[in-house]
Structure 1
Amino acid sequence: MNSKVKVSNLQKKYNNNTVLKGISFDVDDGTIFALLGTNGAGKTTTLECMEGILKHSSDQIYINGKIGVQLQSSSLPEGIKAIEALKLFAMWNSTIVDIGLIDRLSLTSILKKQYKEMSTGQKRRLHLALAMTGDPDVIFLDEPTAGLDVEGRVALHEEIKRLKNHGKTIIIASHDMAEVEALCDKLAILKDGEIAFLGTVDELKSNVKNIYTIKLNLSSQIILDECLTCCYKGKIQDYYIFESNEVGDGLLELLTIIKNQNIDVYDIKIEHSSLEECFIDIARGNK
């Protein structure tokens, strides 16, 4: 598969503060790539360097084709109507307004609305449509679903999948692991201006610990058996916290001890280590 985007040794400084410390990655043609990280990790700065908005020091940023950009913070003149903005962007791109795109992003009802009259979600959907005007080869989306309701998120996800199926390359900056897991083929996790993880979603999943957390709210203090196979992690508020590789065996063992000590169980909570927890561990430098 050919690389549509190549970034080599990207660096960015603000005065004496280095915010990007020589990051490198490739994005293949027709794939969805995510940049993840906590606030301040460098996601938006990386995108804006690639988009040509920010000056930078880099061995090379290579993008094969025309780009479309949806910024994290965008604005239009307050009095402009949605249809006017769409026509203006279409004219700049020597094309016509894409009626199908208007339908897919549920913009029909706001075409005659002025920008100042639109909700946050409506503005967000309009910005997305403008970014996709002119049939770009590479599309940059910075926190694309921020401010969207459930219907808007679903519509956007469907549009992103459709674009991929038509051979487009999409680069998303996000902190939403559920969104990334649902959409993306490959991702980079940034930490303090460096890449802490680069790989596929499946490769990230392989880092997820197969550990279950068992939380028990009990009527009285439990006396733990020294041979207990579960790992006792302590007590948080009213809950005793245990970890186990096997939730069935671990819970059965605990309930047997509780029964033998005539303790009542008020509540049981069972949680499995998630992809989001893995992301947080990497982003915080715990892995």
Structure 2
Amino acid sequence: MSDHIIRVTNFRKTYGDFVAVDDVSFTVQTGEIFGLLGPNGAGKTTTLECLEGLRQPDSGTLRVANIDPTREQHKLRHVIGVQLQAAGMPEAMTPNEAMNFFCAYHRVSPRFDLLDRLGLTSKRKAQFHTLSTGQQRRLALALAIAHEPQVLFLDEPTAGLDVASRTELHKMMRELKANGTTIILATHDMAEAEQLSDRVAILLNGRLTTIGTPMEITATGAGLTKVSVHTRANCLLNSQNDIPAVSQQLTKGDYAIFFSHDIAQTVPALIAFVQEQADELIDLRVERPSLEERFLELTHNEFGG
């Protein structure tokens, strides 16, 4: 039996003459956090909405837990949870009423503990329209996971959340993953995706540009590693020394920053130069390229920036 809980094959979706998603194929393994990344208009939300059964693809096949989202929407509702970018509920409905309603639909006991955990204790009897944007999004998350879905779709889940709520959400995502829930995370937050995702797919102009673990994706770019050095006498600042394997050099405050394509050559040469100058090394940091930097590189190449 396949361990792929989501399968997307040759998926295409258009709106009139506009091609939102063009021949996209990927699979998601059971129990992984799968990041779906891309700029506005890349096709992320369209892909999610078709997987959630909210829209129909023009061509291709989609399967979620072996369910056709287009033809088996009733079955789909009980195996997925969805937190949309904008939560729409009756203005007068309270979080308690919403939890009762959603859990009754899924035939499970109400999970008021989720409201408390997500900081909605004092708002459980408040009308929906009085909740802040962040509170509405936290309520939407609580409702999405109350029936313990096999697959959870999160579309920009931390937008509008404060730091404490973001931290709690990330903790919950890790717990859900540990219990076997598959999470599809669509986000603009590259640091969030890099920190949480087992694998990510990057969409640009409706096409799948790359897919893999965050480390695999960052390793396929220009591959420059940032080496930041601070010395007591600042011997490296504004120096024209020839450090091997360095493609670019700049300064930021008391730090000399080198972008290297081979740190095995660069770092020993930097240390040797500092010693030759009778200077003292205070701080040396080596940072691999981030997912955000790789994403910007891909976007730059795609749009010819």
**TM-score range for the pair, normalised by the shorter chain length:** 0.7 to 0.9
Following TM superposition, by how much is the alpha carbon of 1:145 offset from its aligned partner in structure 2, in angstroms? 0.9
Instruction: Describe the shift of the 1:243–1:138 C-alpha distance in structure 2 as closer, same or farther (beyond 3 A).
Output: closer
Instruction: Describe the shift of the 1:96–1:133 C-alpha distance in structure 2 as closer, same or farther (beyond 3 A).
Output: same
Match among 127, 130, 144 for residue 157 of structure 2: 144
Alignment check: 8 A CA contact 2:199 2:212 kept? yes
**Bigger Cα displacement from structure 2, 135-144 vs 235-244:** 235-244
Secondary structure of 1:151's aligned partner: helix
Alignment check: 8 A CA contact 1:86 1:97 kept? yes
Distance, in Å, in 1 between the alignment partners of 2:250 and 2:5 is: 51
Following TM superposition, by how much is the alpha carbon of 1:213 offset from its aligned partner in structure 2, in angstroms? 5.1
Indicate the residue corresponding to 2:4 in structure 1. Answer: 3
- The residue type paired with residue 216 of structure 2 is E
Following TM superposition, by how much is the alpha carbon of 1:189 offset from its aligned partner in structure 2, in angstroms? 0.9
Following TM superposition, by how much is the alpha carbon of 1:281 offset from its aligned partner in structure 2, in angstroms? 1.7
Alignment check: 8 A CA contact 2:36 2:184 kept? yes
Following TM superposition, by how much is the alpha carbon of 1:185 offset from its aligned partner in structure 2, in angstroms? 1.4
Distance, in Å, in 2 between the alignment partners of 1:183 and 1:233 is: 31
Secondary structure of 1:11's aligned partner: strand
Following TM superposition, by how much is the alpha carbon of 1:207 offset from its aligned partner in structure 2, in angstroms? 3.1
Alignment check: 8 A CA contact 1:36 1:189 kept? yes
Distance, in Å, in 2 between the alignment partners of 1:2 and 1:243 is: 40
Indicate the residue corresponding to 1:53 in structure 2. Answer: 54
Equivalent positions of 1:128-167 (< 5 A) are: 128-167=141-180
Flag structure 2 segments of 5+ consecutive residues without an equivalent: 66-75
- The residue type paired with residue 7 of structure 1 is V
Following TM superposition, by how much is the alpha carbon of 1:278 offset from its aligned partner in structure 2, in angstroms? 1.7
Equivalent positions of 1:138-217 (< 5 A) are: 138-207=151-220, 209-212=223-226
Indicate the residue corresponding to 1:89 in structure 2. Answer: 102
- The residue type paired with residue 259 of structure 2 is E
Distance, in Å, in 2 between the alignment partners of 1:183 and 1:148 is: 17
Distance, in Å, in 1 between the alignment partners of 2:247 and 2:289 is: 20
Distance, in Å, in 1 between the alignment partners of 2:28 and 2:155 is: 16
Indicate the residue corresponding to 2:82 in structure 1. Answer: 69
Q: TM-score, normalised by structure 1?
A: 0.82
Indicate the residue corresponding to 1:264 in structure 2. Answer: none
Instruction: Describe the shift of the 1:75–1:251 C-alpha distance in structure 2 as closer, same or farther (beyond 3 A).
Output: farther
Alignment check: 8 A CA contact 1:230 1:250 kept? no
- The residue type paired with residue 224 of structure 1 is Q
Alignment check: 8 A CA contact 1:31 1:168 kept? yes
Following TM superposition, by how much is the alpha carbon of 1:253 offset from its aligned partner in structure 2, in angstroms? 6.6
Identical aligned pairs, as a percentage? 37
**Bigger Cα displacement from structure 2, 16-25 vs 178-187:** 178-187
Secondary structure of 2:137's aligned partner: helix
- The residue type paired with residue 198 of structure 1 is I
Flag structure 1 segments of 5+ consecutive residues without an equivalent: 261-267
- The number of residue pairs the alignment matches comes to 280
Following TM superposition, by how much is the alpha carbon of 1:36 offset from its aligned partner in structure 2, in angstroms? 0.7
Distance, in Å, in 1 between the alignment partners of 2:141 and 2:243 is: 55
Alignment check: 8 A CA contact 1:27 1:33 kept? yes
Indicate the residue corresponding to 2:289 in structure 1. Answer: 274
- The residue type paired with residue 76 of structure 1 is M
1:48-85 deviations in Å (ceiling 9; x for gaps): 11112222223211111521111112222222211111
Following TM superposition, by how much is the alpha carbon of 1:248 offset from its aligned partner in structure 2, in angstroms? 3.7
Following TM superposition, by how much is the alpha carbon of 1:19 offset from its aligned partner in structure 2, in angstroms? 1.7
Q: TM-score, normalised by structure 2?
A: 0.78
Following TM superposition, by how much is the alpha carbon of 1:232 offset from its aligned partner in structure 2, in angstroms? 6.2
1:108-144 deviations in Å (ceiling 9; x for gaps): 2210122222222211100111112323221111011
Secondary structure of 1:78's aligned partner: coil
Distance, in Å, in 1 between the alignment partners of 2:131 and 2:239 is: 60
Instruction: Describe the shift of the 1:78–1:252 C-alpha distance in structure 2 as closer, same or farther (beyond 3 A).
Output: same
Distance, in Å, in 2 between the alignment partners of 1:13 and 1:73 is: 22
Following TM superposition, by how much is the alpha carbon of 1:95 offset from its aligned partner in structure 2, in angstroms? 2.3
Indicate the residue corresponding to 2:301 in structure 1. Answer: 285
